[in-house]
Homo-oligomer: A and B are copies of this chain.
Amino acid sequence: SGSAAMYGRYTQELGVYAKEEAARLREEAAFRRLVTERSRSLDLLEYDKSRCAKCRICTVHCQKFLISRVGEDWIFLILLGLVMALVSWVMDFCIALCLQAQKWMYGGLDSNVVLQYLAWVTYPVVLISFSAGFTHIVAPQAAGSGIPEMKTILRGVVLKEYLTLKTFVAKVIGLTCALGSGMPLGKEGPFVHIASLCAALLSKFMSLFGGIYENESRNIEMLAAACAVGVGCCFAAPIGGVLFSIEVTSTFFAVRNYWRGFFAATFSAFIFRVLAVWNRDEETITALFKTRFRLDFPFDLQELPAFAVIGIASGFGGALFVYLNRLIVQFIRKQKAINKFLMKKRLLYPALVTLLISTLTFPPGFGQFMAGQLTQKESLVTLLDNRTWAKQGIAEEFEYIGHAAAWKHPQANVFITLVIFIVMKFWMSALATTIPVPCGAFMPVFVIGAAFGRLVGESMAAWFPEGIHSDGVVYSIVPGGYAVVGAAALSGAVTHTVSTAVIVFELTGQISHILPIMIAVILANAVAQSLQPSIYDSIIRIKKLPYLPELGWGHHEKYNIRVEDIMVRDVRYITLNCTYRDLHDVLLTERLKTLALVESSESMILLGSIERAQLQALLSQQLGRPRRLEYLRQRAQNERKQVSIVSTPSSEEGNHKANHEVRFQVIPVLFSLPYFFHSLGLSLSLSLSLTHCLSPSFIFFSISFFSHSCSSPHLFFLPFSLSLSLQIAEWEELQLDEQVNFNNCKIDPAPFQLVERTSLHKTHTIFSLLGLDHAYVTSIGRLIGVVSLRELRKAIEGSVTVKGVKVRPPLASFRDSGTSSSDAEVTELHKLWNRHTNLTLPQDHQPSDSDEKSQ
């Protein structure tokens, strides 16, 4: 399985990887030896009849049992859940401390507004700058949400450095600081990443005990469960977590793995909440943002249009948020002057953004109109309050208790405060999520949605002070219910998920508004999905991650595009009887990771595919150091026989001497050519990879040999014999003309094949299902083309962007005119059949063109 993992890694160079692998194997072996030795020494203890020994024997047995059970999935999932719950709780604790510290500073300096402002502003700027700097230094991959990357990784692509301990440390510390600053940032997306990191590290750690953890497909299954855990322990929402992570990261979901997510997320959420109980924060296990809406009459049937309006407006709002977010990123990238300056002073952009946002939220300043002193959590709690703020349109009548007082302003009524809050937070959140710190956009969007829902709810309450219901009993309108609906709808629109509804139920602990929420979320999704990609897909596009976009809703014209319209017809291939020179040429001109192997260029029958690395290995084996040395040694021996300088020494000594001689002869030759053609610096920096080599291969091999052997600098400026170098070149030419021996080469004998008439829709499904990177297009065994993710992406995006207009591929018109659907196939087969008929029954021979016409 080690080699299988190797082929999966395409981002790391082979040499680096081989070294790492060797180091890893050494470490593992050492660890195993240690464990085995210790257990053996403890085995011996059983014979030692002292008192203390019994106790120790028992421990050993327990240990053995535990180690034997450690391979089970549920142990892994429990550990993962436990660790993540602890991480989540500790982080929440630290974030709360940070926020409290800011409040304490701000409160303590209330004598001087300037000092207060400085404290209010400096604190987040320092924290965000530290977070950005720390992330950049330790692991730049930790910046941002992490969900787009997880989506790509679960798609089967290996992203370098995204699942390492360094990234874990950077993400956890960076996220704590970022959220502790009080900026409008979320912890959900990063938590998905952190949980995945945790799973990857745990799996690596546990593979020291047994071999099961090395299984590739099992690791992917565990990562999927980890994503669920991430959301689950962030919001204490196990069901919503599982569903959200499925919607956000998967294209096809194996129901078989369903239980893993539920098990781990439930356990994690349970521990997360139990910690709160143990810490005396809560009396018992309840929801994170518990609401207390009335149960008997949650809402009136006639309020449904208002909920639908929230849904549709949230749809537009969500699309606008994604658009705004992308616009900001693209604006900063495009302005080259700004970009250059920012790249130099990496911490300036985060600091400036933080300064701007914190200045605007300064409570004695503009912040008083937008409840600036409330943290994100406090705002959400007040927004989900079950009391009505605006009784009969007059805000003053309501007694504001606790944090809710922040929404009251002597000059402005609650509607104005809410509108300002929504507008300001909207662009602030869109801007803040572009800062290169670990942060998500879910929670800010959730709060904005809740505020929007509250606004609509308060308006409704002001409009119908006695409620809408007309059957005697007065059921007043509950604006908090509207806030819940708005939160679910807007976050659903931004992330393109329906499961935000479930998250909301679990967050609030009430499900009475299920139908309004579902309706609003579905409407919001419908609107948002037709306008913009989800925030995660948008980031995938911005970052240009290798991901396959989804087929849009009801784009029926895609059933009409076929593989033959998008495939690359000019496939580079190698034949079974090719020479090393062909191999070398193909490797130089072709950039694909794998190459097709066909029987011969006439028959073109596809036999399999070979990894690029395998071919490079073949080539370097043929022209590599051992064979070269062998050749030179033989040549030297021949010369020696002719000249007879050394007169019959002892065989050992002779060999040694011969080796030395050869070395003195050889090395100058080998670096002579690069010395001629390249500067020394260039040749030393050349890597092992053939893709960087633009000179003929023999030069390349000389260089690589040279850079390996010339650790002793005194060999550098030795003279060389030109005749020998010419002989070497000749030898190389001869070697290149030999036929390739594929015997020790790993060949994938069944690469994925498609027929040229496969529809785009089906191709997309197969690529997504099997996580393919490319597929060969064959016609009755013959290779006729290749489709890679790139072509597929282009085809899908091409037809997605041109709305309404049907994108007709070049050959589609031919197809529609014909009635028979299998003309091409038949013709193709006919040719083959004729060939065989002609071969086997020569007496029936007819001119082949007349045969073609009879078709």
Contact = CB atoms under 8 A, between A and B. Distances in A.
Interface of A: 3, 71-74, 212, 215, 217, 238-239, 243, 246-247, 250-256, 258-259, 262-263, 266, 269-270, 273-274, 277, 283-287, 290, 292, 295-301, 469, 471, 498, 501-502, 505-506, 509-512, 514-515, 518-519, 522, 525-526, 550-551, 553-554, 556, 559, 576-577, 599-600, 605-608, 739, 741-744, 746-750, 753-755, 761-762, 765-766, 769-770, 778-781, 821-822, 825-826, 828-830, 832-833, 836-837, 840-841, 855
B515 A273 contact: yes
B753 A525 contact: no
The 9 closest A-B pairs by CB, nearest first: A266-B518, A511-B511, A750-B755, A253-B253, A749-B780, A607-B780, A262-B498, A577-B836, A769-B769
Contact of A833 (B259, B509, B525, B742): B742
Nearest to A746: B822
A167 to B, nearest CB: 26
A394 to B, nearest CB: 28
A253 B251 contact: no
6 contacts: A71-B556, A72-B554, A239-B501, A239-B514, A502-B502, A510-B511
Contacts of A258: 247, 498
Contacts of A556: 71, 212
A816 B614 CA distance: 25
Contacts of A215: 559
A498 B469 CA distance: 38
Given A576-B833, A605-B781, 9 more contacts: A73-B554, A238-B515, A251-B254, A506-B514, A509-B512, A742-B833, A743-B829, A750-B755, A766-B770
Contact of A750 (B554, B754, B826): B754
A743 B511 contact: no
B577 A741 contact: no
Contacts of A576: 832-833, 836
Given A577-B837, A781-B606, A829-B742, A283 B471 contact: yes
A747 B829 contact: yes
Given A511-B505, A607-B781, A747-B825, A285 B270 contact: no
Contacts of A252: 252-255, 769
A561 to B, nearest CB: 15
A781 B295 CA distance: 67
A511 B511 CA distance: 6
Contact of A608 (B259, B301, B526, B780): B780
B247 A295 contact: no
B514 A743 contact: no
A292 B295 CA distance: 7
A657 B770 CA distance: 65
A841 B739 contact: yes
A742 B833 CA distance: 8
A270 B522 CA distance: 13
B577 A840 contact: yes
A845 B799 CA distance: 56
A298 B273 CA distance: 14
A810 to B, nearest CB: 22
A285 B259 contact: no
A522 B263 contact: yes
A636 to B, nearest CB: 27
Nearest to A764: B256
Contact of A284 (B297, B577, B747): B297
Nearest to A263: B522
Nearest to A302: B284
A259 B511 contact: no
A749 B501 contact: no
A245 to B, nearest CB: 11
Contact of A519 (B251, B270, B287, B301): B270
Nearest to A755: B750
Nearest to A246: B255
Given A266-B518, A273-B515, A741-B833, A753 B755 contact: no
B522 A259 contact: yes
B754 A778 contact: no
Contact of A286 (B512, B526, B770): B512
A750 B753 contact: yes
Contacts of A287: 511-512
A301 B263 CA distance: 19
Contact of A749 (B577, B739, B778): B778
B498 A259 contact: yes
B256 A253 contact: no
Given A252-B253, A255-B250, A266 B781 contact: no
Contacts of A298: 284, 286
Nearest to A3: B821
Contacts of A212: 556
Contacts of A295: 290, 292, 509-510
Contact of A73 (B251, B518, B553): B553
Contacts of A511: 287, 505-506, 509-511
Nearest to A511: B511
A609 to B, nearest CB: 11
Contacts of A263: 522
A613 to B, nearest CB: 15
B256 A550 contact: yes
